């Protein structure tokens, strides 16, 4: 998941270790130093795959060290996944497990690994899709039922003795690295590590080495060095690592996109049609009843107390959620009433449904959704704009199970919640994230209080024409300003000397602040 | 909108008295009624889904209250020509089923005053009789949202309005909020009080020999 600490990494061959479980947990991880910038263009399509590095080399050759050093020197790259081949050991039979417990199963052979699954997971991650990678237990010598969810890496480092062995894996790498190390040095390191850290005898280590490790290295590992783009020495390799990270950084920079400016200030006229054409709607505005106008007047008024603001936001959110529910498909259903009468009614024709709220200002819509869908799962996305560039950054992803798993996501309806659509940058990023997970575009219903007429909605609609937007009001203006000029209490000092923000006019002010602070 | 309109039991709007307003008959609303009509629905679901309908009804009812133009300033410094709410309101529930609508009312109208009226059939005369009423003192100056989920023959609703009028509430300031109505009851009620507005969620086929609404949803108070 996002947000884990830079871990201490261990080498791939954990099978002989008694205490390997805790090491394993740290292996497949997503590291981030800051948010993830847009990985898609103005049309909403991903512009680039993640950059994938494969690192192979003998056991105790220093692959993990190389991987760790690359991560360290990449520094500025937002999200890096380190994927270990250990996760992809096959599901074993009873006999194999018995052999494994007796140290008589050859884990160093390529056949021990589920290469098709390894390649499928890596292909998903490379294509910016989520992946649920298997979890392998070294204590049980078995693949567990659980999986580990990974999403959103811009750099993926795959490491393992067989990392360059399978052609389907090799086809996915942007950079292939082989860590070259003398056999005697590898053996020396191995003895030292296994005796010291894993409490094994020298005889045991040597027997293992001669029976499995050495033949595997000679037959399967060393020959793959010819596929490598770069061969890195197993020690004193800082120059090689510097070369690699410079290369990766340059590749990443070429892929970066700055497109926020292009999104603001085009007109929504094309996609917001008058109320007579139902079919082409992608923006559904609540009927402008006297009560609705009254609610908006209260919410827009800067003099409205926080208490009133919260109450009317909850009330409006409930109403918006009810409207959004109308957009679901329904099918016929016949029931019997307590008066023993048959009644032919309807029920929603949906398999899974959930909410996803864009933190923080999607939060005020959550209560409304919960009043309409009891015990609905609500996930969250944290999108913040970079103080310097104004570019949106994806900082945190926490999605419900029915989106995390691709096979469920295709049948999932999502109510995406955010207080307003101004530039549309965070809406754009959130929708792209859902699509990356396999959610269908026409299954996304964006629920919001306000849409800025001159804002990013036209770009949003052009990129994602099937996403429907339910709102209560469409405002005229979108203007860039400094936050400190109109900050309400509590805001401002978080950002020092202020920063550029886009505001909707007349708008409702900073809805999140008014609701929470 | 991607919805179809079902009219399984809805009377044609043309035959309705002009003071009757129904909710938009969306597939979604029909699905809500399908849940609350289903005799196998659990109490928890019945509560949750009937509350959803009640909120929609109250929201619709409030649209019949007057608003006045109001100009305000937004936090962005812009002027906004909006409207302000005008007039005080209160709720009056017809016991005991009407009480079940109070929570929904208060979700839309925070801390609204709620009066109560208990009407039961007199065993001797078979006519509705007032047993108890407790109403806000200034009710005559308020708009009244009268709550009763089921309108069958209309007997108790008619009696309740009679009591409100005795307390000085003019007919045109009463809005009757109702989940399911029988056409017979609607006609009787609206003929008697033509200036009173009725907001109902669904108009059913009619009444059976025991004066239960068909298809209906059973005893609303019992199921809550």
pLDDT digit string, tens, across residues B130-189: 888 899 999 999 999 999 999 998 989 999 999 999 999 999 999 999 999 999 999 999
Size of interface A-B (CB pairs under 8 A): 164
Q: Output the six-digit token pair for A145.
A: 């039922």
- Report the share of chain B in percent with pLDDT over 90: 64
Helices (H), A63-201: 63-74, 94-101, 115-126, 167-170, 183-198
Q: In A, which residues are within 8 Å of B179 by CB distance?
A: none
For position A287, what pLDDT does the model report?
A: 93
Cβ pair A322:B56 closer than 8 A: yes
The answer to whether the CB atoms of A294 and B63 lie below 8 A apart is: no
pLDDT digits (tens, 9 = 90+) for A440-486: 999 999 999 999 888 788 888 889 999 999 999 998 888 877 765 44
A326 touching B, CB under 8 A?
Answer: yes
Q: What is the pLDDT of residue A47?
A: 77
Cα dist. A274→A269, A279, A459 in Å?
10, 11, 19
Helices B43-62 and A306-325 pack at an angle, to 10 degrees, of 110
Give the residue carrying structure tokens 């886009």: A502
Nearest by CB to B37, from A290, A345, A514: name it.
A345
Per the DSSP assignment, residues forming a β-bridge with A215 are none
Residue A275 touches chain B, beta carbons under 8 Å = no
Of A311, A343, A514, the CB nearest to B37: A343
Q: Assign domain A21-255 one CATH number from 3.30.2350.10, 3.40.50.300, 3.40.50.80, 3.40.50.2300.
A: 3.40.50.300
A467-490 as b/e: b if 16+ CB within 10 A: bbbbbbbbbebbbeeebeebbeee
What residues does CATH 3.40.50.2020 cover in chain A?
266-516
Nearest residue of chain B to residue A323 (CA atoms): B28
Report chain A residues whose CB lies below 8 A from the CB of B33.
Answer: 345
B-contacting residues of A 352-371, CB under 8 Å?
371
Q: Which chain A residues touch B8 with a CB distance below 8 Å?
A: 343-345
Of the candidates B56, B78, B215, the beta carbon closest to that of A343 is on B215
Mutate to test the interface with A, among B34, B179, B182, B207 (most CBs of A within 10 A): B34
pLDDT for A23 equals 36
Whether A374 has its CB under 8 Å from any CB of chain B: the answer is yes
Q: Are residues B82 and A504, on separate chains, in Cβ contact within 8 Å? A: no
Whole-number pLDDT of residue A26: 46
Q: How many CB atoms lie within 10 A of CB B126?
A: 9
Which of A293, A347, A374 is opposite residue B67, by nearest beta carbon? A293
**DSSP-assigned states of every residue in A317-377:** HHHHHHHHHTTS-EEEEEEE-TTS-EEEEEEE--SEEEEEEEETTTGGGHHHHHHHSTT--
Q: CB-CB: which of B31, B77, B215 is closest to A346?
A: B31
Residue B2 to residue A510, Cβ atoms within 8 A: no
Which chain B residues are Cβ-neighbours of A505 within 8 angstroms?
Answer: 74, 76, 78
User: Nearest Cβ partner of B82 from A300, A333, A479?
Assistant: A300
Helix (H, G, I), strand (E, B) or coil at A212: helix
Tell me the pLDDT band of B209, cut-offs 50, 70 and 90.
confident
State the virtual CA torsion across A459, A460, A462, A464 in degrees, nearest 10: 160
Question: Tens digit of pLDDT for each residue in B18-64?
Answer: 899 999 999 999 999 999 999 999 999 999 999 999 999 999 999 99
Tell me which of A298 and B13 has the higher pLDDT. Answer: A298
CB-based contact, A348 to chain B, within 8 Å: yes
Return mean pLDDT, chain B.
88
CB contact under 8 Å between A330 and B1, yes or no, is no
pLDDT of residue A77: 64
C-alpha dihedral (A206, A211, A212, A213), degrees to nearest 10: 30
The C-alpha atoms of residue A366 and residue A380 are separated, in whole angstroms, by: 11
The helix (H) or strand (E) run that includes residue A23 is helix A21-25
Chain B hits for A345, Cβ within 8 Å: 6, 8, 30-31, 33-34, 37
- Peptide bond between residue B96 and the one before it cis (omega within 30 degrees of 0): yes
Mode of pairing for the β-strands spanning A342-348 and A330-336:
antiparallel
Beta-carbon separation of A291 and B8 below 8 A: no
CB contact under 8 A, B52 and A303: no
CATH class entry, domain A266-516: alpha beta
Between CA B224 and CA A253 the distance in angstroms is: 62
Residues 6+ apart with CB under 8 A from B212: A339, B152
Query: Given B34, B65, B212, which is nearest A346 (Cβ)?
Result: B34
Tokens at B166, concatenated: 């005795």
Q: What is the ipTM of this complex?
A: 0.84
**Taking CB atoms and an 8 Å cutoff, what residues of chain A touch B47?**
none
- A437 contact partners, CB below 8 Å, separation of at least 6: A129, A130, A151, A399, A403, A404, A406, A409
The Cα–Cα gap between A305 and A169 comes to 60
DSSP A93: P
CATH number of the structural domain B15-223: 3.40.50.2020
What separation in angstroms does the CA of B12 have from each of A268, B6, B16, B183?
39, 12, 7, 10
Interval B102-107 mean pLDDT: 90
Q: How far is A239 from chain B (nearest CA, A)?
A: 54
Q: Name the minimum distance, in Å, from the CA of B40 to any CA of chain A.
A: 8
Best residue in A292, A301, A318, A345 for a mutation probing chain B (most B CBs within 10 Å): A345
Residue A278 touches partner B, C-beta closer than 8 Å: yes
Interchain contact A319–B (C-beta under 8 A) = yes
Distance of CA A395 to the CA centre of its chain: 9
Tell me if B146 sits within 8 A of B162, measured CB to CB: no
Q: What pLDDT, on a 0 to 100 scale, did the predictor assign at position A484?
A: 58
Helix (H) or strand (E) holding A238: helix A238-255
End-to-end Cα, chain B, rounded Å:
33
Rounded to whole angstroms, how far apart are CA atoms B89 and B95?
19
In whole angstroms, what is the distance from residue A5 CA to residue A407 CA? 30
Contact status of A341 with chain B (Cβ, < 8 Å): yes
With beta carbons under 8 A apart, name residues in chain B contacting A338. 39, 216-219, 223
Q: Are strands B197-203 and A342-348 parallel, antiparallel or unpaired?
A: unpaired
Of the candidates A317, A327, A421, the one whose C-alpha atom is nearest the C-alpha of residue A366 is A317
Task: Give the residues of chain A that fall short of pLDDT 70.
Answer: 1-34, 76-78, 255-281, 387, 483-500
Q: Decide: helix, strand or coil at residue B179.
A: strand
């Amino acid at each position: 998941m996002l947000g884990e600490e830079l871990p201490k990494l261990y080498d791939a061959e954990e099978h002989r270790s008694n205490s390997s479980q805790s090491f394993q947990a740290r292996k497949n991880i997503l590291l981030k130093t800051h948010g993830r910038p847009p990985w898609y263009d103005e049309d909403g399509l991903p512009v680039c795959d993640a950059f994938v590095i494969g690192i192979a080399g003998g056991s105790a050759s220093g692959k993990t060290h190389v991987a760790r050093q690359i991560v360290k020197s990449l520094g500025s790259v937002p999200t890096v996944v380190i994927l270990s081949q250990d996760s992809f050991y096959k599901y074993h039979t009873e006999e194999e497990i018995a052999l494994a417990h007796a140290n008589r199963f050859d884990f160093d052979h390529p056949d021990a690994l589920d290469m098709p699954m390894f390649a499928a997971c890596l292909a998903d991650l490379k294509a910016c899709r989520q992946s649920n990678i298997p979890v392998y237990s070294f204590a049980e010598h078995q693949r567990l039922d659980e999986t580990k969810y990974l999403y959103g890496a811009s750099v993926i480092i795959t490491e393992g003795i067989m990392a360059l062995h399978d052609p389907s894996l090799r086809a996915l790498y942007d950079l292939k690295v082989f860590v070259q190390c003398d056999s005697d040095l590898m053996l020396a390191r191995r003895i030292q590590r296994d005796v010291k850290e894993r409490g094994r005898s020298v005889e045991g280590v040597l027997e293992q080495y001669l029976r499995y490790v050495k033949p595997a290295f000679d037959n399967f590992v060393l020959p793959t060095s010819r596929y490598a783009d770069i061969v890195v020495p197993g020690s004193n390799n800082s120059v090689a690592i510097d070369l690699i990270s410079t290369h990766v950084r340059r590749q990443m920079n070429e892929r970066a996109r700055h497109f926020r400016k292009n999104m603001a200030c085009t007109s929504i006229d094309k996609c917001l049609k008058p109320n007579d054409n139902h079919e082409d709607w992608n923006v559904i505005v609540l009927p402008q009843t006297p009560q609705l106008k009254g609610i908006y007047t209260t919410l827009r008024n800067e003099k409205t107390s926080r208490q009133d603001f919260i109450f009317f936001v909850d009330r409006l959110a409930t109403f918006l959620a009810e409207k959004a529910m109308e957009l679901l498909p329904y099918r016929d259903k016949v029931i019997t009433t307590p008066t023993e009468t048959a009644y032919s009614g309807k029920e929603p024709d949906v398999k899974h449904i959930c909410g996803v709220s864009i933190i923080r200002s999607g939060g005020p819509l959550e209560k409304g959704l919960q009043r309409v869908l009891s015990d609905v799962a609500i996930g969250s996305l944290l999108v913040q704009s970079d103080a310097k560039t104004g570019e949106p950054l994806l900082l945190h992803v926490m999605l419900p199970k029915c989106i995390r798993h691709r096979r469920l996501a295709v049948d999932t309806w999502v109510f995406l919640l955010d207080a307003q659509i101004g530039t549309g940058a965070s809406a754009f990023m959130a929708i792209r994230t859902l699509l990356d997970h396999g959610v269908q575009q026409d299954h996304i219903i964006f629920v919001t209080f306000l849409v800025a007429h001159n804002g990013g909605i036209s770009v949003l609609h052009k990129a994602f024409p099937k996403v429907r937007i339910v709102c209560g009001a469409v405002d005229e203006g979108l203007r860039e300003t400094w936050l400190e000029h109109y900050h309400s209490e509590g805001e401002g000092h978080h950002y020092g000397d202020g920063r550029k923000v886009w505001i909707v006019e007349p708008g409702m002010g900073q809805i999140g602040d008014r609701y929470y602070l | 909108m991607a919805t179809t309109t079902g009219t399984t039991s809805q009377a044609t709007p043309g035959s309705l008295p002009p003071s009757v307003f129904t909710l938009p008959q969306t597939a979604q609303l029909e699905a809500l009624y399908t849940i609350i009509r289903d005799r196998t629905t659990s109490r928890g679901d019945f509560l949750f889904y009937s509350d959803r309908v009640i909120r929609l009804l109250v929201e619709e009812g409030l649209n019949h209250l007057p608003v006045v133009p109001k100009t305000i300033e937004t936090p962005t410094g812009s002027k906004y020509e909006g409207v302000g709410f005008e007039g005080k309101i209160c709720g009056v529930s017809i016991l005991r089923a009407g009480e079940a609508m109070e929570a929904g009312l208060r979700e839309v109208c925070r801390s609204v005053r709620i009066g109560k009226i208990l009407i039961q059939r007199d065993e001797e005369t078979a006519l509705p009789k007032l047993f108890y009423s407790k109403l806000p003192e200034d009710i005559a100056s308020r708009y009244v949202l009268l709550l009763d989920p089921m309108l069958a023959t209309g007997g108790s609703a008619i009696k309740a309005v009679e009591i409100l009028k005795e307390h000085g509430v003019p007919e045109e300031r009463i809005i009757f909020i109702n989940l399911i109505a029988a056409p017979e009851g609607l006609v009787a009620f609206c003929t008697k009080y033509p200036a009173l507005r009725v907001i109902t969620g669904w108009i059913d086929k009619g009444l059976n020999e025991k004066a239960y609404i068909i298809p209906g949803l059973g005893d609303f108070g019992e199921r809550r």
